[in-house]
A and B are shown apart, each in its own frame.
Chain A
């Protein structure tokens, strides 16, 4: 039937999600997975209750009712920012005289230490397609694009194969489920650049432009891709929708642990200096310690946890004393921090905080799109200072200068969230591990000159 050859074995995402105990009632994102990671295509997906959520949504509910159910269920964005998906959907412009718009799936998974969407797309492409059909119905989108990073070649093959299967089965195209609703879907692959994961930069990139973020307002829900109402959701967010439609809000609310204001389950991970790095579908509200000790097997032999980053390069470095924190947005909100993607990184006593943060800021400086000054100039400046401190060549005043950059690149000074996300880990690293920075300052009475350290003013 198809010209596309799916990739059925040797998938990179074969991992702990394929071997952990799981059940339909408790693991909506992973219960269908095969132990050998062989991808679930249409027949198997349908035999495992697939497309029942979409059938109910399209045949029994109005678009506004679907948006209302997603809002009430409390599905929050799983890409790191945690914005409630139902609220986003309820703000999409639709109605008489308003053109039908686009549903974009943000599959540009590039946040360092994030490997969850890869698994969903390589192994369960129809779960994402089903979520997109429901989202498109709720938002009156006539066309969808899966914006996939170019390096995910296996995910691209399996998604394209699944889209063809769905189209041939009448699940995409005209008159889906005989309801008169039309929606078609394309896989769009990118060509690199972290900034494409920012939703308005993603829209520019999809339109074939440089991926500079756009000023908001107008928000994408009012005027996004090609000037039409546009919704951008993360892969995992969309994959949560079918089960909510099929099993109901009450069931969804019963999945998380007590004390969590986030509902449902989350793909969580632990990597770095742990014994068994992996990815697991776990209830919101589980503690970071449980993920580390019960799932990742604790720290590698002889190593002691010094710090962890809970969810990607753009989240704070937290000291080991925070390890009993609940993995949910209110858990991190209580210490004025963010959970991010919930795929955590463990650092031990042998990891230099200054070196790791230097690596992160090098990455962020390289990936800045260059549009806003605090990001374009501030991030390379921080790299220069961090390299000096790492080499033991820091000057008195450098730490204060870094703190100034943290402030100036923080929220509110740039178009998008790249700079605030890039610089927040640096702020936390200085806050909790200041002694490691101080150890890199040369004992000298010479005062630092900001101009001399600035990449475009001083000696580069």
Chain B
């Protein structure tokens, strides 16, 4: 654990914050460090590596990442809270990124959002009670000639309509 972080917390708290990176995670992060001029530059990639395990980055993981990178935990926290695709709360098994930028907006975004709300019971920023889906907003997906668009996990979908939206989501269990 980084000294800066451990100085600020009691030993009980330190115990609660204990978080072990797996050997694979550590190795992946160290490999990323090799692509840059210094370890700090791998901080975003390191957080993405950690996020793969549970789908989000818990507080306890921050000092563990900081230790591998050799930078203060506060700096890792600063990065982890800045970028929108690093999740700091539990999310569902599947992430729905529904594009809300202007082209999708005029092509029916609000109708699609309403459909998700009525069918799945979640609005932007919420997770279904069965932890199946989390709906998050996303910067324009760059698919505007086939709008409205969304991503589910790593898959991109085009030309959505209230009629085909749910059959797309149905495939994600």
Given A151-B97, A272-B106, A191–B47 Cβ distance below 8 Å? Answer: yes
Q: Does B7 contact A (CB under 8 A)?
A: no
Q: Does A320 contact B (CB under 8 A)?
A: no
Bound Cα distance from A112 to B78, whole angstroms: 26
Q: Does B156 contact A (CB under 8 A)?
A: yes
Q: Determine which of B82, B97, B106 lies in contact with A351 in the assembled complex, contact meaning CB atoms within 8 Å.
A: B106
CB distance from B21 to the nearest CB of A (A): 17
Nearest residue (CB) in A for B78 is: A210
**Which of B12-20, B113-121, B139-147 lies on the face that meets chain A?**
B139-147
Q: CB distance A356 to B83 under 8 Å? A: no
Bound Cα distance from A412 to B121, whole angstroms: 45
Bound Cα distance from A343 to B140, whole angstroms: 13
Q: Does B111 contact A (CB under 8 A)?
A: no
Q: Determine which of B48, B102, B146 lies in contact with A359 in the assembled complex, contact meaning CB atoms within 8 Å.
A: B102
Q: Determine which of A205, A208, A210, A343 lies in contact with B144 in the assembled complex, contact meaning CB atoms within 8 Å.
A: A343
Number of interface residues of A (CB under 8 A): 55
Q: CB distance A359 to B37 under 8 Å? A: no
Q: CB distance B100 to A363 under 8 Å? A: yes
CB distance from B31 to the nearest CB of A (A): 12
Q: CB distance A112 to B140 under 8 Å? A: yes
Q: CB distance B102 to A211 under 8 Å? A: no
Bound Cα distance from A208 to B33, whole angstroms: 11
Q: Across the interface, which residues of B come within 8 angstroms of A278, CB to CB?
A: 145
The residue in A186, A191, A193, A343 that gathers the most chain B C-beta atoms within 10 A of its C-beta is A191
Q: CB distance B82 to A313 under 8 Å? A: no
Q: Does A113 contact B (CB under 8 A)?
A: yes
Q: Across the interface, which residues of B come within 8 angstroms of A269, CB to CB?
A: 144-145
Q: Determine which of A12, A111, A188, A208 lies in contact with B40 in the assembled complex, contact meaning CB atoms within 8 Å.
A: A208
Q: CB distance A16 to B78 under 8 Å? A: no
Chain B 49-70 interface mask (CB, 8 Å, partner A; 1/0): 0000000000000000000000
Bound Cα distance from A351 to B35, whole angstroms: 47
Q: CB distance A279 to B145 under 8 Å? A: yes
Q: CB distance B103 to A205 under 8 Å? A: no
Kindly identify, within residues 116 to 173 of chain B, every residue whose CB is under 8 Å from any CB belonging to chain A.
137-147, 151, 154, 156, 158
**Total residue contacts A-B, CB cutoff 8 A:** 136
Chain A 110-122 interface mask (CB, 8 Å, partner B; 1/0): 1111110110000
Bound Cα distance from A153 to B45, whole angstroms: 14
Kindly identify, within residues 75 to 93 of chain B, every residue whose CB is under 8 Å from any CB belonging to chain A.
75, 78-79, 82-86
Q: CB distance B86 to A191 under 8 Å? A: yes
The residue in B107, B138, B140 that gathers the most chain A C-beta atoms within 10 A of its C-beta is B140
Q: CB distance B84 to A191 under 8 Å? A: yes
Nearest residue (CB) in B for A270 is: B145
Q: Does A127 contact B (CB under 8 A)?
A: no
Chain A 349-372 interface mask (CB, 8 Å, partner B; 1/0): 001000110011001001101000
Q: Does A387 contact B (CB under 8 A)?
A: no
Bound Cα distance from A344 to B38, whole angstroms: 41
CB distance from B82 to the nearest CB of A (A): 4
Q: CB distance A151 to B144 under 8 Å? A: no
Given A110-B140, A151-B97, A279-B145, A356–B84 Cβ distance below 8 Å? Answer: no
Nearest residue (CB) in A for B136 is: A192
Q: Across the interface, which residues of A come within 8 angstroms of B156, CB to CB?
A: 12, 151
Bound Cα distance from A359 to B103, whole angstroms: 10
Q: CB distance A12 to B154 under 8 Å? A: no
Q: Across the interface, which residues of A come within 8 angstroms of B48, CB to CB?
A: 150, 189, 191
Q: Across the interface, which residues of B come within 8 angstroms of A355, CB to CB?
A: 105
Q: Does A326 contact B (CB under 8 A)?
A: no
CB distance from B91 to the nearest CB of A (A): 14
Bound Cα distance from A206 to B97, whole angstroms: 24
Bound Cα distance from A447 to B18, whole angstroms: 57
Given A16-B145, A110-B140, A115-B142, A356–B105 Cβ distance below 8 Å? Answer: yes
Q: Does A251 contact B (CB under 8 A)?
A: no
Bound Cα distance from A345 to B48, whole angstroms: 34
Q: CB distance B145 to A193 under 8 Å? A: no
Q: CB distance B79 to A210 under 8 Å? A: yes
The residue in B79, B82, B85, B138 that gathers the most chain A C-beta atoms within 10 A of its C-beta is B82
- 6 closest Cβ pairs, A-B complex: A192-B84, A191-B83, A112-B101, A192-B85, A208-B43, A112-B140
Residue contacts A-B, CB under 8 angstroms, 9 given: A12-B156, A113-B101, A114-B140, A186-B35, A192-B85, A193-B83, A208-B44, A363-B139, A367-B139
Instruction: Report B's interface with A, CB cutoff 8 A.
Output: 35-38, 40-45, 47-48, 75, 78-79, 82-86, 97, 100-103, 105-107, 137-147, 151, 154, 156, 158
Known: A192-B139, A208-B43, A351-B106. 6 other contacts (CB 8 A): A12-B143, A12-B146, A112-B144, A151-B141, A272-B107, A360-B102
